[in-house]
Amino acid sequence: MTQRMNHKAANGLPASGLFASPQLPKNYSVAELPGLAKKIRRDIITMIGTAGSGHPGGSLSAVEILTALYFNVLKHNPADPHWADRDRFILSKGHAAPVLYAALAASGYLPEAELCTIRKIDSRLQGHPECGLTPGVEMSGGALGQGLSFGIGVSLAARLNKKDYRTYVLLGDGECDEGQVWEAAMAAAHFKLDKLTAIIDHNGIQLDGWNKDIMGIEPLEQKWQSFGWNAIEVDGHDVVQVIEALKKAQKVTGQPSVIIARTVKGKGVSFMENNPEFHGKVPNAEELKIALKELE
């Protein structure tokens, strides 16, 4: 796994050599994916701690989802990010950019050393993903509720161009408060977009509170089914379950699929788990040390 430099910055994190090249193998077995997920979690915590801002909770909850996609399911080519036949991954919950950047770096889209530039002026890694700036980013994120509509356009383009690529859209459960999500859900079913898969990071928390207190969204599975979607519910931290669900969705015809991934916000760091404070709160220096220790 990643070997970090010995010299430390003032905050106790490694200095400019923050993310040394891990010499990652080209391919991973399914058994190796949990270890890779832990590495991605370390990179998320280190990025956010270095930047002094960011969203740890919803980045950590989505780790196994992106690990399953980028290292087992997606048809993609880091050496050619614009390959016409690639599968498309769209991060609708754009504030979870750290997990996307970590997955892109581990895949080879950008040098791991570049992760330490997140949220800096002129960096290719801004607080929300920007299409055309960061290799591998398919949509500029930020305004919630937009990604599924964008994914419908991408999926329709594949149909018009007679392409076989699939489109995957990751949404937050709090994001499902947005009316546009349900307009898009209705449209995707109407157009029978069976090469479109939505994934809900269902961690139960949005912004500074619990979904059930802010805007209850249950029963989520039945709601998507009522809109004409094939719905699959999984443990979002069991990478095998996530992979199996994604592959089941590939076999469905005549309707889009949604994977409702039950997750824990802040997963992997004890004091962040199920803690609404860490939606967008940066851990202090002592907390950073504890978090990285827990993720060794």
Digit-coded pLDDT (tens) for 179-215? 999 999 999 999 999 999 999 999 999 988 999 999 9
Number of separate helices (H) and strands (E) present in the chain = 10, 7
pLDDT for residue 272 is more than 80 = yes
Is there a domain that residue 45 lies in? no
Which helix (H) or strand (E) segment is 40 a member of? Answer: helix 33-51
Contacts of 236 (CB under 8 A, 6+ apart): 61, 62, 64, 65, 201, 202, 242, 261, 262, 263
The pLDDT score that the predictor gives to residue 244 is 98
Q: Please name the residue that has the structure tokens 């788990």.
A: 273
Per cent of the chain over pLDDT 90 is 90
DSSP 42: H
Instruction: Measure the CA–CA gap between 210 and 192, rounded to whole angstroms.
Output: 33
User: Across the chain, what does the average pLDDT equal?
Assistant: 92
Measure the CA angle with vertex 142, ends 244 and 67; round to 5°.
25
Digit-coded pLDDT (tens) for 72-115? 999 999 999 999 999 999 999 999 999 999 999 999 999 999 99
Q: What is the CATH number of the domain that holds 251?
A: 3.40.50.970
**Domain total in the chain:** 1
Which region among 21-25, 226-230, 236-240, 276-280 has the lowest average model confidence (pLDDT)?
21-25
Digit-coded pLDDT (tens) for 41-55? 999 999 999 999 999
Is there a domain that residue 14 lies in? no
The pLDDT score that the predictor gives to residue 174 is 96
Digit-coded pLDDT (tens) for 61-78? 999 999 999 999 999 999
Counting Cα atoms < 13 Å in the Cβ hemisphere of 242 gives 31
Is there a domain that residue 70 lies in? yes
The pLDDT score that the predictor gives to residue 6 is 31
Is there a domain that residue 240 lies in? yes
Is there a domain that residue 217 lies in? yes
pLDDT for residue 139 is more than 50 = yes
Domain of residue 263, residue span = 58-95+120-268
For 23, other C-beta atoms within 10 Å of its C-beta total 8
